Amino acid sequence: MKNWEKRHYWLGTCSQGCSKDIFTFTYARRLGHGEVYLIRQSDGARLLHRCDISRYKGAERSDIYFHWTVTKEVQGILGIVCVGIISYYYTNFYNVNVYFTGDLFFFLMATTFMICTFCLLLSCIVSWSTGGLISKTMFELIYHAVATILLLAASVNLLIKVNNHVLKKNMFDAYMAASIIGIVNSILYLLSAIFAQRQYRVTITRTVTTSNTTSTLVLNTGYLKTVPGLLKLAQLILGAVCVGLVAWYYNNRYDYTPTLFFLLMATTFLIGTFCLLVSCLFSLSTGGIISKTIYELIYHSIGAILLIAASATLLIHVNKQNSYYNEKYMIAAIIGLINGILYVVSAVLARRSYRGI
């Protein structure tokens, strides 16, 4: 192993056509003054090829890790404040005074990104390398972009609705505060999206040789042929059915906490899984990187627990009530239980693929 440096970087899938996972190549030798390395298998048996890793730069503990974690903490705290304010007034005073949907939309979005951000933060705390790796995938960019758009839309919508309705002063002040905090939080998500766009350096292109040579962005349809890809697609479809059924028949004046709890959890993991699936479809490396971190294990485990709990609670509630909507809610609860089982399967697969980096 003379002149060979031992490295523990996980760099993603090689972009030079070998389709190898560079995480398994732990010995590298630098050539010249650039960032071009000769990559050799960990046993040093043979030389594979030259590979430019200047865009990956490993998963070392750095200032990026610190800022990434602090940003997630602030986003999580602001999300908790928003959810706390809205949940208190929504469940206790809403149906006594006024009817509008602005606070429900805000409640759904604030809860969604509070839980998803908690999953990201927890995975970073449990595994310090996770933040450095995920920040270099398309998932961070897509997740924060979606969070910015939806949370900002929900906050502005709540602000407008509150100003257009006559509310009690304490309720008016609370909703105003929640909407302003939501706008501030959406700005933080926007900054995170900009930072993620700068960090995301794995650009995969395919060269098509015709009379002219062109490069096009690859849509990773092959991911849908894998078990994790099919599971995410099934989870997304079942989640959309659950949200559609409950949201269509939901009426906060007559429906109770179990229905709201189910709607919140179904919406949360519908959006979270959508971000995961889209990022894996539009990036050849994202699926491989995320599956080797602890994020998928934590996300799917929490998703399984909360979805099964929400579905079981709704099922018990429906069996005790006589309502016109019982049949629809029962169907939604059963689909939610099935979806929760799929999340359990995804968590098991994530545990097997997680390498403890």
Report how many domains make up the chain. Answer: 3
Q: Are residues 40 and 67 in the same domain?
A: no
Q: Are residues 76 and 136 in the same domain?
A: yes
Q: What is the pLDDT of residues 296-316, one digit of tens each?
A: 999 999 999 999 999 999 999
pLDDT for the residue 277: 94
- Distance between CA atoms of residues 87 and 2, nearest Å: 63
Choice between 243 and 30, residue whose per-residue pLDDT is larger: 243
pLDDT for the residue 286: 81
Q: Are residues 121 and 36 in the same domain?
A: no
Q: Are residues 157 and 226 in the same domain?
A: no
Please state whether 44 falls in left (phi above 0), alpha (psi between -120 and 50) or beta: left
pLDDT for the residue 323: 65
Q: Are residues 233 and 357 in the same domain?
A: yes
Helices (H), the chain: 63-97, 102-126, 128-134, 138-163, 169-199, 227-249, 257-281, 286-291, 295-320, 326-353
Choice between 320 and 277, residue whose per-residue pLDDT is larger: 277
Tell me: pLDDT of 96 over 70.
Answer: no
Q: Are residues 234 and 331 in the same domain?
A: yes
Q: Of the ranges 30-39, 48-57, 117-126, which is most confident?
A: 117-126
Tell me: pLDDT of 45 over 80.
Answer: no
Q: What is the pLDDT of residues 114-158, one digit of tens each?
A: 999 999 999 888 887 777 778 778 898 999 999 999 999 999 999
pLDDT for the residue 205: 38
Mean predicted confidence (pLDDT) in 181-185:
96
Q: Are residues 23 and 99 in the same domain?
A: no
Residue 152 lies in a domain: yes
Among candidate residues 251, 101, 247, the one with its CA nearest the CA of residue 164 = 101
pLDDT for the residue 162: 82
Q: Are residues 262 and 351 in the same domain?
A: yes
Q: Are residues 254 and 343 in the same domain?
A: yes
pLDDT for the residue 38: 44
Residue 209 lies in a domain: no
Q: Are residues 197 and 248 in the same domain?
A: no
Among candidate residues 238, 240, 255, the one with its CA nearest the CA of residue 317 = 255
Tell me: pLDDT of 50 over 90.
Answer: no
Q: Are residues 11 and 110 in the same domain?
A: no
Choice between 11 and 220, residue whose per-residue pLDDT is larger: 220
- Distance between CA atoms of residues 67 and 4, nearest Å: 33
Mean of the per-residue pLDDT values of the chain: 77
pLDDT for the residue 219: 79
For every residue of 30-58, DSSP letters joined together read: E-TTSSEEEEE-TT---EEEEEE-TTT--
Counting every residue written for the chain, the total comes to 357
Of the candidate ranges 85-94, 96-105, 165-174, 184-193, the one whose mean pLDDT is the lowest: 96-105
Could you tell me the residue range of the domain that residue 37 belongs to? 5-52
Choice between 356 and 142, residue whose per-residue pLDDT is larger: 142
Q: Which 3 state secondary structure label does DSSP give 150?
A: helix
Residue 341 lies in a domain: yes
Tell me: pLDDT of 78 over 50.
Answer: yes
**99 pLDDT tier (thresholds 50, 70, 90):** very low
Residue 113 lies in a domain: yes
pLDDT for the residue 101: 67
